[in-house]
């Protein structure tokens, strides 16, 4: 059974945090180090501008937003899960970056690529107006600020020598907003620290082939839609592009410290958009009583003692004091009641001023990493 992990909702706020964190762990699956442990441009720019300028036939105001390079990123970059300034350093997507099917044209306009991720600005233009339900479904959606679409995909690369294994999760989220009833502008992200990309060493330059077989409007599970076809557009959009990593300010800090259960941190990589805490494991570091890997629970604070809302080691750089991070290891509760009580305390806004003091006194181990 294929599961869209983002379409799972649990009403209780505190329990939802526990489940959400577990799902994030599943989605990340393995960092490169864990996998090792387990296994032992000018012509393209002119073409893009020419295409986007052509939108002026239908709406000059909308067209004006897209006729300059970087404009799509500029429109939606602050609403991404990993926000930041993409527009100033983005470059045109080369090769086959435009595809039409089912009366809809998808353009992969520009990209920003570093060692951690590939971010691509996307323009979706329909010949007919999108249905009101597609633009704004009734009931709650996954994202309270901006609409989110999903591409159902097949992907292959030259570094993988063929098709990537997307059997469990063929979706790519496109975060953005509708510019009018015909036009959606957004950004898709490939996270190189998530399976299946994490099992490969991503080269400086590679070919990425993408087939989109469906465009979905993301809604929460349980939301009643009278006609499911109103939130789904099938088709076949094909792209083949050459991606080259850019020179982006990136810092890597070697750590190589371990907790009592043998889990550890090998290094931390920081870009203007994301922070990746790379896991490692060494069975020789296990202390008595911590033989089970899940015997410990981690909490991460930034340099100002603020909770970093991610326990799988990947989080946005924006909004945090990155002078240092501290990873605290606590004894994991043995029952659901204990889990919920711990989550309630850690995530409570009222308790936030006391969180660092609590962790300092309760943690079995901590790793402090100056950045």
DSSP letter string, 106-135: EEEEEEEE-SSEEEEEEEEEESSPPPHHHH
Reported CATH class of domain 29-244: mainly beta
Q: What local confidence, expressed as pLDDT, does residue 264 receive? A: 95
Check residue 230 and give its pLDDT: 78
Residue 210: which of 252, 266, 152 has the closest Cα?
A: 152
- Which pLDDT value is given to residue 32? 40
Peptide bond into 295 cis (omega under 30): no
Locate 358 and state its tokens.
Answer: 């609590």
Structural Rg of the chain based on CA atoms: 22
Reading the block at residue 16, the tokens are 């939802």
Q: Which two tokens stand for residue 357?
A: 């003091």
- Give the pLDDT score at 145: 47
CA separation for the pair 353, 243 (Å, rounded)? 45
Global pTM exceeds 0.85: no
Is 14 exposed, middle or buried (CB count within 10 Å of its CB: 0-12, 13-18, 19+)? Answer: middle
Strand ordering across the sheet containing 251-258: 251-258, 263-270, 274-281, 314-316
Instruction: Give start-end residues of each CATH 2.60.40.1630 domain in the chain.
Output: 29-244
Encode burial over 83-114: b for 16+ CB neighbours within 10 A, e otherwise: bbbbbebbbbbbeebbbebeebbbbbbbbbbb
Residue 44: its pLDDT value, please?
39
Backbone angles phi, psi at 254, to 5 degrees: -75, 135
Which pLDDT belongs to residue 310? 76
Q: What is the largest CA-CA distance in the chain?
A: 71
Show Cβ contacts of residue 347 under 8 Å, excluding neighbours closer than 6 positions: 14, 17, 307
Contacts of 120 (CB under 8 A, 6+ apart): 93, 108, 109, 110, 111, 187, 188, 189
User: Phi and psi for 219 in degrees, rounded to 5?
Assistant: -140, 160
- Segment (H or E) for 265: strand 263-270
Confidence (pLDDT) at 62: 56
Q: How far apart are CA 280 and CA 265, in angstroms?
A: 6
Q: What pLDDT was estimated at residue 277?
A: 95
**Beta carbons of 4 and 217 less than 8 angstroms apart:** no
Q: What is the pLDDT of residue 65?
A: 61
CA-angle at 1, arms to 193 and 116, nearest 5° = 10
How would you write the pLDDT of the chain (371 residues) with one tens digit per residue? Answer: 333 334 433 334 444 444 444 444 444 444 443 333 333 333 333 333 344 433 433 455 555 566 555 689 999 999 999 999 999 999 999 999 999 999 999 999 999 999 999 999 999 999 999 988 899 876 555 444 457 999 999 999 999 999 999 999 999 999 999 999 999 999 999 999 989 999 999 999 999 999 999 999 987 666 666 677 778 999 999 999 999 999 999 999 999 999 999 999 999 999 999 999 999 999 999 999 999 989 999 999 999 999 998 757 899 999 999 999 999 999 999 999 999 999 999 999 999 999 999 999 999 999 999 99
């Amino acid at each position: 059974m294929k599961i869209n992990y983002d379409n799972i909702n649990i009403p209780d706020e505190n329990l939802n945090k526990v489940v959400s964190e577990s799902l994030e762990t599943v989605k990340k699956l393995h960092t490169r180090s864990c996998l090792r442990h387990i296994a032992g441009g000018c012509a393209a720019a002119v073409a893009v501008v020419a295409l986007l300028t052509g939108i002026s036939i239908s709406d000059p105001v909308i067209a004006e937003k897209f006729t300059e390079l970087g404009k799509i990123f500029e429109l939606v970059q602050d609403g991404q899960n990993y926000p930041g300034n993409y527009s100033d350093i983005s470059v045109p997507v080369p090769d086959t970056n435009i595809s039409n099917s089912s009366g809809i044209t998808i353009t992969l306009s520009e990209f920003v690529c570093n060692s951690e991720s590939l971010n691509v600005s996307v323009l979706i233009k329909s010949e007919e107006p999108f249905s009101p339900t597609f633009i704004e479904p009734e009931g709650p959606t996954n994202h309270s600020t901006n609409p989110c679409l999903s591409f159902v995909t097949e992907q292959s690369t030259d570094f993988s020598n063929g098709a990537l294994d997307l059997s469990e999760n063929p979706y790519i989220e496109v975060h953005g907003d509708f510019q009018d009833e015909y036009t959606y502008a957004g950004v898709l992200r490939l996270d190189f620290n998530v399976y299946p990309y994490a099992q490969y060493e991503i080269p400086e330059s590679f070919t990425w082939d993408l087939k989109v077989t469906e465009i979905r409007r993301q809604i929460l599970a349980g939301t009643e839609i009278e006609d499911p076809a109103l939130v789904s557009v099938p088709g076949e959009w094909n792209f083949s592009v050459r991606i080259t990593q850019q020179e982006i300010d990136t810092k890597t800090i070697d750590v190589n410290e371990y907790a009592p259960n043998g889990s550890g941190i090998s290094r931390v990589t920081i870009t203007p958009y994301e922070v990746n805490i790379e896991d490692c494991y060494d069975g020789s570091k296990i202390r008595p009583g911590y033989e089970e890997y899940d015997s410990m629970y981690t909490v991460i604070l930034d340099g100002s003692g603020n909770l970093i809302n991610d326990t799988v080691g990947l989080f946005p750089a924006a909004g945090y004091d990155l002078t240092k991070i501290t990873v605290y290891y606590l004894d994991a509760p043995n029952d659901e009641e204990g889990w919920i009580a711990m989550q309630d305390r850690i995530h409570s806004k009222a308790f936030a001023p006391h969180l660092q003091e609590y962790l300092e006194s309760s943690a079995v181990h901590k790793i402090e990493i100056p950045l």
